[in-house]
Amino acid sequence: VLMDGGVRRGSDIVKAICLGARAVLIGRAYAYGLAAAGEAGVTRALEILRADTDRTLRLLGCPSVAALDRSYVEVPNTWEFQRDTNENQ
Cα–Cα distance for residue pair 26/58, rounded to 1 Å: 21
Contacts of 63 (CB under 8 A, 6+ apart): 57
**Cβ distance 57 to 65 under 8 Å?**
yes
pTM listed for this prediction: 0.82
Q: What is the pLDDT of residue 76?
A: 84
Secondary structure class of 35 (helix, strand, coil)? helix
Hey, which residues does 25 pair with through a beta bridge? 4
Using pLDDT thresholds of 50, 70 and 90, give the confidence band for residue 79. confident
**Largest pairwise CA distance in the chain:** 50
* pLDDT greater than 60 at residue 83: no
pLDDT tens-digit readout, 22-73: 999 999 999 999 999 999 999 999 999 999 999 999 999 999 999 999 999 9
